[in-house]
Structure 1
């Protein structure tokens, strides 16, 4: 099956880190009837402009209608001058805890739903699929299906309950993603159930987990073995800038580590793309010093954060021209060579 072909939008900002929540479907209803851990969207009787996301029987967050209504979403964002959005699953939909067979079926159902949703809108939307990383044998197979559906890549969690992403069991996944040229969007995750408030847990966990995952891909040689991997990291890469110097120190002190890191750690960090969601200009300065301005792409976490990331980019401590580069120029470079991208003649 061949899917829709995404045409790069007209000049303007392209947001590469946005999330979508599928409305209730018969498949999700069947899953949640037997296991409440599956995330589901629950419409409210008292309001039609919001809905609740329930995870494991607990309210995780209340989302605006634009999280699941793509018509209203398009109208809102187009009115703000946005030229395009890359849609990816709300991270709670990864369900890395789920039985492998059910997870694979769910991923296929989500990918097919998303591929249908992004059609139209004058090319405003494109999408990233999901795969069941808890089954390293099946996850690579779904990448080909994602490509056939016309989705531009895959969104993955920065870790699974059984193994970190730098574990050798995921080599086939990264090999296939590199071969197909798919964009791999690594999103921070972590258990927040031990926190009194789930959202407070995301603040405590997300920067550390994504930084640890990226450092692991460098330290264990994943990025050295897959030089063509197109990797996008959420939340500004979290703590990665603080790890690079130590990785290089260890590389110099322990020569055997050069088998997995033939080049300095910073070299691998500069192959990764990052959104600017660090909430502090001083932190963003550290990331720019490490990877340069040309590896930053607009990512807003829309519609979950009530902030405009472009405001941070205008901080006087940051380089001149950064706003246009991050909002428009860099996202187009990132997406230009993705499978399914149609270039105008």
Structure 2
């Protein structure tokens, strides 16, 4: 079982303490034995198990559950899209250094994704070479960066550089500003994440950004969310709109098949439809470990999915993608 959608939270460090002292909006961990509280803007956002920051304990826990490896990425609340370009860069460097150092002793069991300053797309592009040099296999970005949508021209250089370096771009759903209107963060998570990732990936497809970069390796969180409902509409409009055909040299569904997706759609019929549209080999295991209270992909073993699909999602498909990233 090779899990490509898992998260980590760095422990407190003098650098993080200095950041928090300057602005309480920075997410930070307050460990207390077997668990720890993640504080955002000075308030407890969630309580996490020790495996969220202790990679030795995490490996024992993961191996007991049958895992053969994990791709680690930052908890989305660590994106800090509000931070200045300078602070964002300093934090990204510190996080990336910490992650690269932590995964080193584990003989390939862990691979990692870096983070970048979100208010400086050019700086984000420039940092990718350092991420690759540190041995990280890609970068995680939010579905809606604070500067502009990922398909906007300001992010073109970032996407070009990621494609040139062969890095994975993991686009993770976020709640965004609308989350503040919900009485509980998990209510916002449930309602907003599918639209968030669907809008981001749909935008990259509908503007031709994916078709223009056949070498771009992109993983969409949460099964691409609403994307599978958008593709027929985009193609219908492309067929009837000459200007859209100029933007999109290929049908939306073909662009969608260039990407990878985790199966976090929570329904076998939806995952089967996703696999039918993008290809069964493009669905790779992702569980959101260690934040889900129960196994979010247990449905893979139930009825409604083709024979052998669950095994491919858990083993062959993620291994093939990881081999592409590490070869």
Per the TM superposition, whether the score is higher than 0.5 is yes
Q: Which residue matches 1:241?
A: 228
Shift of 1:258: 1.1
Q: CA RMSD in A?
A: 1.1
Q: Which residue of 2 aligns with 1:75?
A: 60
Separation (CA, whole Å) in 2 of partners of 1:29 and 1:195: 29
Q: CA deviation at 1:224?
A: 1.5
Out of 230, 243, 249, which is 1:256 matched to?
243
Contact 2:262–2:286 (CA under 8 A) maintained in structure 1 = yes
Higher mean C-alpha displacement, 249-258 vs 281-290: 281-290
- Aligned residue runs from structure 1 range 289-300, under 5 A: 289-300=276-287
Q: Deviations over 1:241-279 (max 9, x none)?
A: 000000001101111111221111000011110000111
* TM-score, length-scaled by structure 2: 0.97
CA contact (8 A) 1:251 1:257 kept: yes
Alignment match, 1:303: 290
Q: Say which of 19, 42, 49 aligns to 2:7.
A: 19
Greater RCO structure (CA 8 Å; 6+ sep): 1
Verify the 8 A CA contact 2:116 2:139 in the aligned structure 1.
Answer: yes
Per the alignment, residue 134 of structure 1 pairs with 119
Tell me the secondary structure at the aligned position of residue 176 of structure 1.
helix
| TM-score for the superposition, normalised by structure 1 | 0.92
| 1:57-96: CA deviation from partner (whole Å, max 9, x where unpaired) | 2211111111011111001111122100000000111111
Note if contact 1:51-1:63 (Cα within 8 Å) is conserved in structure 2. yes
CA contact (8 A) 2:118 2:147 kept: no
Instruction: Between 270-279 and 284-293, report the one with greater CA deviation.
Output: 284-293
Residue in 2 that maps onto 1:52: 37
- The residue aligned with 2:69 is 84
Report how many aligned residue pairs link the two structures. Answer: 325
Residues 111-260 of structure 1 aligned to structure 2 (within 5 Å): 111-191=96-176, 192-260=179-247
> Which residues of structure 2 form unaligned runs of 5+?
none
Distance in structure 1 (CA, Å) of the matches to 2:272 and 2:106: 36
Deviation at 1:290, TM superposition (A): 1.1
Superposition deviation, residue 190 in structure 1: 2.0
